[in-house]
Chain A
Amino acid sequence: MNRPHRGAAGSRGLGTMEVKSKFGAEFRRFSLERSKPGKFEEFYGLLQHVHKIPNVDVLVGYTDIHGDLLPINNDDNYHKAVSTANPLLRIFIQRKEDADYSAFGTDTITRKKNVLSNVLRPDNHKKKPHIVISMPQDFRPVSSIIDVDILPETHRRVRLYKYGTDKPLGFYIRDGSSVRVTPHGLEKVPGIFISRLVPGGLAQSTGLLAVNDEVLEVNGIEVSGKSLDQVTDMMIANSRNLIITVRPANQRNNVVRNSRTSGSSGQSTESSLPSSTPNILANFLQGEEESDEEDIIIEDSGEPQQIPKAAPASESLESLTQIELLHESTQNGFLPSREMNLNHSAGSISMECEVQDADHKPLEEDGTIITL
């Protein structure tokens, strides 16, 4: 873009690296020590400083050598960006509230105009890229196959994660009967089956459940002997973290396990971004126990006090709004581990997100808080 500079940068060799950062219509240029880029947090602070936007939550992106706009939000991808920048590191900054995630992704070079127009006018959604790369903190499991190491091969334990999204769980169950082998020979026993998948629903989009799969357990509790209504109630009560064990109607797709020793989680998202794995696992564990526990407490007494930020990250999408509204500090949706420990050490089974507001009226009326 700017040839003289590029040349200059190139002449400077490996020592420093020029950075061109764009926020809105404004550009800022500065340089970084290529060998010691520092931490992402520092870089983030630096960007806020040079753009004089100290209290604005932003998303940071850069164009890689292929011209793709990729996000920078942790040390790893920050270091990657620095190491691959040649010669200039071009940074694009968006306000978080009007961030357009669709701008990120591959092939953005071919649609550079779109990228720019998207960045500049984020409400322009006419043309979406084929593949959307989320911000890593938004990576979240939607479904998983779990416990494959302990279950018989004919069974499948599926976990569905219901976030605050509009996407329905989207399946129906019915009564039916299945044939079991018993000491007295074959016996017909009543069972519960999946009868229908709602198109576009969570269940269908995971591909892990199918019509006529027999439901054997709901969150570890056997359904045999329970009525359709009981099983319905159990599933709905667990709907925010539903683990169902099924015997798939189609037994041909079963995984044949040989020498695989582990595989307790089937997250396909992990491999691409190893850096985020610990966090995701943490979310995971937490979600295991707490996913339906974050009752919201609104109190209007006393002065504001430090609130335990216990919004579980497995709920990151829905907690985003909440957190943004209430806690400026938890912009990433990740939990500082110290606070998580606090919660656990208190022996509390649940985590409450407490909201303090001296003036309760707006809160009462604010649908977003109450209906999170």
Chain B
Amino acid sequence: MRRFLRPGHDPVRERLKRDLFQFNKTVEHGFPHQPSALGYSPFLRLMAIGTRSGAIKLYGAPGVEFMGLHEENNTVMQIHFIPDRCQLVTLLDDNSLHLWSLKQHSGASELREEHRFTLKGPPGSPPSATQITAVLPHSSREVLYLGTESGNIFVVELPSFKALEDRTITSEAVLQWVPEDYCNRRSCELVEALREHPKNPVQILIGYSRGLIVLWDLQNSKVTHQFLGVQQLENLYWQRDGSKFISCHYDGSYTLWPVTSDNRQPEPLENLVPYGPFPCKAISKIYWQTTKNGLPYIIFQGGMPRASYGDRHSISVVHGSQQTAFDFTSRVIDFFIIFSSEPAAEFDDPSAMVVLAEEELVVIDLKTAGWPAVHPPYLASLHCSAITCSHHVSNIPLKLWERIIGAGSKQNINYSSMPWPIDGGTNIAPDPPQRDLLLTGHEDGTVRFWDASGVCLHLLYKLSTVRVFLTDADPNDNMNTQGEDEWPPLRKVGTFDPYSDDPRLGIQKIYLCKYSGYLAVAGTAGQILVMELNDEDAEHVVDHAEADLLQDQEGYRWKGHEKLKTRDGPVRFEAGFQPFVLVQCQPPAVVTSLALHSEWKLVAFGTSHGFGLFDHQQKRLVFVKCTLHPSDQLALEGPLSRVKSLKKSLRQSFRRIRRSRVSSRKRRGGGGHASEVQEANAKFDQDTLQEMELAPVQRKIEARSAEDSFTGFVRTLYFADTFLRDSSRHCPSLWAGTNGGTVYAFCLRVPPAERRMDEPVRAEQAKEIQLMHRAPVVGILVLDGRSTPLPEPLEVAHDLSKSPDMQGSHQLLVVSEEQFKVFTLPKVSSKLKLKLTALEGCRVRKVTVANFGSCRTDDYSENDLAVLTNLGDIQIISLPFLKLQIRYPCIRKEDVSGIASCVFTKYGQGFYLISPSEFERFSLSTKWLVEPRCIVDMPEVTSNNHVYNKPGMENAARKSSSSDYGEDERKSGQLMEHALLNDEKVLKEIQSTLEGGR
């Protein structure tokens, strides 16, 4: 046996292995877990998202993606792009600044960290003196202004991060310009906002948290204007022409201030509490966008009435008489507005609002009436309802692909038709080689169909199984019955909805036949739905059948959940996959395995009690088989009983500890005896606690016995046309493997097509194999005479696969958690095996046959097993000789949910969840590799000359601490204008910048 593990170092094979296998984690799909910061560069048209784990991700046009990770794994607090550069600065919660660059390397851009920097104060100063609260990359691209908690503003040089101490703007220097009576009332406190003047780069607006705002002249180091705010400041925003700015405040108000040369200490033009008069929550960020028609867009985050809507996560858009408070289902992290980049444009003319909420990205089209949402091509919230299972189908025929897209497009009519507004960079990755579908099952009873062909995981179509059932929730509840008179004008947006009406609706298994369009889904309450693709809406009755898996067993009582109630009469289904038959398992335990054979029109299903076969053509149950072991009581207690009992025992033990403490406290002061008891109690508590801490982790070594629980749990089902009874005639067969290491084989008689409706399908048990090591059977596969796995149903009929070799002798591969075994057929005798667990101490968690093509020659490919173990390793094992080819560490072994979520594709790629909302995509193949490959070019030209030529008048670009993307936008427009001048000096400078960075 061990000889299989020691590959004889055959050099030819070793070389071939290098041509076939290669492990890469290629791209992360979905929505970043725990986002914490957002940035946008109107110049590059790239968006950046930082996370609490220190990741930074850049997104541009679909397919343009970059990812970086801070070594510290600290929360990213702020992200600021450097104006006119392919660079950005991040601020982490450890107060460190990091400079990242996008550089071209062998034809594609890469994101790299260049420098890091931590601001140091004068010796002896408290840490708060240098705690950075606001960052302003100046449009000159030479310096960063860093506002701190102490109220001082430090200046550092870029890209060296050299502190320019003589240029520090201290709060004392500022205060000497402020009237004394105001100063006495409030000190400066921390710097809340720093904003560069949109037209005059030597002026910056400084907002302190207590409400004081000053306009500071950098050249003369003096305050030119003071704005004596009385409310705690949250944020600032310049109007496009620099004649006014707007401040927003903690009390839910915003204030408009004029900036004129004649009044150095102006009064506010306007002060408004938009959702007053009752106390409101803070407005944490505000935009004032001008338009041609004169009516500005005022867009602000928060400000809801504290008492009644204080829990809402809202962003309000006010445009004349139109006002909508977009209501998000999760906390808003940050947002930005995309507006006109026309160089000469006088107005902002906002086109879209991009909102990063904690669980999803929402983009609102501000150009189209009604402000519809834009369907994002990436950053999909995979977890809008928790993912319960996934299923991958490779190489979808075009016909089915188009029909699914067609069904999906009918669901998306409420989305805006606006092209995706964040479109920086160029995707230079080759077109995906084939059309792949990833299906995810969710807790709320939906199945989502994702285009998994390329880098962007894109939602094509969403299927809901809820309609078949009667649930507590009235479907009309979801209709937002919002009258126009209602105030505030809230409107729910986004798709993230973590609440499931009924956990029994959860989808557990999915099986799609890509040739016939038959889909089977099975759920938590033992429900199996068989569906057909229909391009039109339809109203029909769903046939019901019940499969009693405990038929012959007496005295068992199911203690778990009840089955779902079904809706009587015809049900209206929208275009797409429409269920036509429902098989309900009894007891209604979670469906643990599912197989569909579209050619024979059979569906097989298994639970912890047994398995059954259903003929969905005749709508008749063919047979059921109970796999329950008489001693297995646990299987009947329902799915959660174990967890419950654990919880219960934990709770009880805590209660006991608490009770003993409470009782000892009660006795306090009750005399000498009581205190003794109390002491004894305390000692006892301590002892028990110590015992709990000191008890070493130990593991029991015991052989698995037939009495172990859940032995009857059906782990895998498989249809095969093979030689089950004798070597001369092959016949359809159904194979089932259980948790107790038993394999059942049933011989099926499927009537020929012309009599398919008239004669019943018959099944007869032909074999039963008990693996002596009793490990759970996780995979069954039949290899044909050429040792090739049997093709999928209808694959041959569609000319997509060679027909299997029915001449040579077939072999049966049984994969248990511990071993791989090849048996001969029809007489089952063991031929080969690989004892994985005995050798390596790891167990098989997932296994699939994958086809690996050589990257050197097009004509060589082979089938191997791709295996994921409980240690998170991926192994490739050859067929049919079961030799270990290669092993890669992939997932941390502690990441149990990641390992459980892994799904392999048929061509050596795979997906697993790295967070509830993100799939990591990996590839084991040298040939089939889907990874982002893109270029970000500096947009044509920059206009430094501008800044230097007319410093006071025109500003090249500005990027402010948290939000002023608008200015950048316009700036890049101006750049375009100057690009036309074809200024050589500028071009040289760009070139030197690019080269300098290399």
Contact = CB atoms under 8 A, between A and B. Distances in A.
A11 B726 CA distance: 67
B837 A237 contact: yes
B772 A173 contact: no
Interface stretch (B233-241, B337-345, B762-770): B762-770
A240 B766 contact: no
Contact of B699 (A170, A173, A219): A173
Nearest to A239: B703
Nearest to B836: A237
A230 interface: yes
B479 interface: no
B775 interface: yes
Contact of A371 (B706, B724, B775, B819): B706
B645 to A, nearest CB: 23
B725 interface: yes
Given A295-B769, A300-B766, A349 B725 contact: no
A367 interface: yes
A367 B701 contact: no
A345 B828 CA distance: 17
A195 interface: yes
Contacts of A299: 766-768, 827-828
Nearest to A289: B1
A301 interface: yes
A349 B828 contact: no
Contacts of B841: 218, 223, 226-227, 229-234
Given A230-B842, A297-B828, A299-B766, A240 B702 contact: no
A264 B956 CA distance: 87
B843 interface: yes
A316 B698 CA distance: 33
Contact of A239 (B704, B725, B821): B704
Most A-side CB within 10 Å, residue of B767, B829, B832, B838: B838
A228 B697 contact: yes
Bin chain A's interface residue count.
Answer: 35 or more
B833 A350 contact: yes
A295 B777 CA distance: 13
Contacts of A294: 772
Contact of A295 (B726, B772, B838, B871): B772
Contact of A302 (B725, B773, B842): B725
Interface string A226-262: 1111111111111110100000000000000000000
A168 interface: yes
A168 B826 CA distance: 37
B837 A300 contact: no
Contacts of A230: 840-842, 871
A364 interface: yes
A51 interface: no
Contact of B830 (A171, A195, A220, A293): A293
Contacts of A302: 725-726
A168 B702 contact: yes
B662 to A, nearest CB: 35
Bin chain B's interface residue count.
Answer: 35 or more
Most B-side CB within 10 Å, residue of A172, A174, A293, A295: A295
Interface string B621-651: 0000000011000000000000000000000
Interface string B691-720: 000001111111110100000000000000
Nearest to B699: A232
B593 interface: no
Given A219-B838, A350-B829, A236 B770 contact: no
B540 interface: no
Interface string B191-212: 0000000000000000000000
B364 to A, nearest CB: 49
A349 B830 contact: yes
Given A234-B841, A238-B838, A292-B773, A171 B701 contact: yes
Contact of B839 (A221, A229, A349): A221
Contact of B701 (A172, A227, A348, A363): A172
A281 interface: no
Interface in A75-134: none
Interface in A166-200: 168-176, 195-196
Contacts of A170: 702
A5 interface: no
B487 to A, nearest CB: 59
Contacts of A219: 838
A226 to B, nearest CB: 5
B666 to A, nearest CB: 39
B317 to A, nearest CB: 54
A296 B893 CA distance: 34
A162 interface: yes
A370 interface: yes
A240 B629 CA distance: 22
Contact of B832 (A236, A349, A372): A349
A360 B818 CA distance: 28
Interface in B800-851: 818-819, 821, 826-833, 835, 837-843
A239 B724 CA distance: 32
B445 to A, nearest CB: 35
B742 interface: yes
B1 A349 contact: yes
Interface string A351-372: 1101000001001100100111
A301 B827 CA distance: 10
A196 B695 CA distance: 12
Given A173-B699, A233-B837, A235-B701, A352 B830 contact: yes
B463 interface: no
A142 interface: no
Nearest to A201: B702
A242 B704 CA distance: 13
Most A-side CB within 10 Å, residue of B775, B827, B841, B893: B841
A301 B833 CA distance: 26
A173 B701 contact: yes
Contact of A174 (B697, B832, B838): B697
A181 to B, nearest CB: 25
A298 B773 contact: no
Contacts of B832: 349
A234 B841 CA distance: 4
B286 to A, nearest CB: 54
Most B-side CB within 10 Å, residue of A170, A297, A302: A297
Contacts of A169: 701-703
Nearest to A221: B839
B742 A370 contact: yes
Nearest to A363: B768
B771 interface: yes
B701 A232 contact: yes
Contact of B770 (A175, A228, A295, A348): A295
Contacts of B893: 227
Most B-side CB within 10 Å, residue of A196, A235, A294: A235
A175 B697 contact: yes
Contacts of B742: 370
Contacts of A295: 769-772, 821, 830
B701 A297 contact: no
Contacts of A360: 765, 768
B833 A298 contact: no
B698 A195 contact: yes
A236 B840 CA distance: 12
Given A236-B701, A236-B837, A293-B833, 16 more contacts: A169-B702, A173-B701, A174-B699, A195-B698, A226-B841, A230-B842, A232-B701, A233-B818, A233-B841, A237-B838, A239-B702, A239-B704, A297-B770, A299-B768, A301-B767, A349-B1
26 contacts: A169-B703, A170-B702, A171-B700, A195-B698, A221-B840, A226-B841, A231-B841, A232-B700, A236-B704, A239-B703, A240-B703, A292-B772, A294-B772, A295-B769, A295-B770, A295-B771, A295-B821, A298-B768, A299-B766, A299-B767, A300-B766, A300-B767, A349-B833, A352-B829, A364-B768, A370-B706
Of all A-B residue pairs in the complex, the 4 with the closest CB atoms, nearest first, are A230-B841, A350-B830, A239-B703, A371-B706
